Amino acid sequence: MVTKKYTVTLPEEPAEEIRSEVGPGAFSAYVTHAVERRREQDRLGELVAWLEEKHGPVTEAELAAAEAERREIERWFDEDRAHGEGREAA
């Protein structure tokens, strides 16, 4: 990836907290990751807006069903971890 140096102004307190946690050499990587993450969230927001425009807003019932499915998947992963990580497929 081609990189270019930019100058940005950040609030001192969170910037210094990050620098002390990741070290001065990893600060740029941390900020790069944060910017990439924000761009992903922005694009997901654009997708949601487009889908809602095309299909209408998500209903409470659909949200509840999705949340139930998410909890079930999380439970499955928790159980799988409890029974031993790294199991090979049969």
Per-residue pLDDT 10s for the chain (90 aa) are 899 999 999 999 999 999 999 987 899 999 999 999 999 999 999 999 999 999 999 999 999 999 999 999 999 999 988 887 655 554
Same domain, 26 and 44: yes
* 66 and 37 fall within a common domain: no
- The confidence score (pLDDT) of residue 86 equals 57
Both 70 and 28 in one domain: the answer is no
**Tokens read off for 52:** 């809602």
Number of domains in the chain: 2
Residues whose CB falls within 8 Å of the CB of residue 18, separated by 6 or more in sequence, listed in order: 27, 30, 31
Q: Based on the domain organization, do 50 and 80 belong to the same domain?
A: no
Calculate ∠ Cα 5-8-9, nearest 5°. 155
Structural domain containing residue 90: 58-90
- Assess contact for 30 and 22: CB atoms under 8 A: yes
What pLDDT shows up at residue 88? 56
Same-domain check for residues 23 and 63: no
Query: Is 1 a domain residue?
Result: no
CA–CA distance, 44 with 54 (Å, rounded to integer): 15
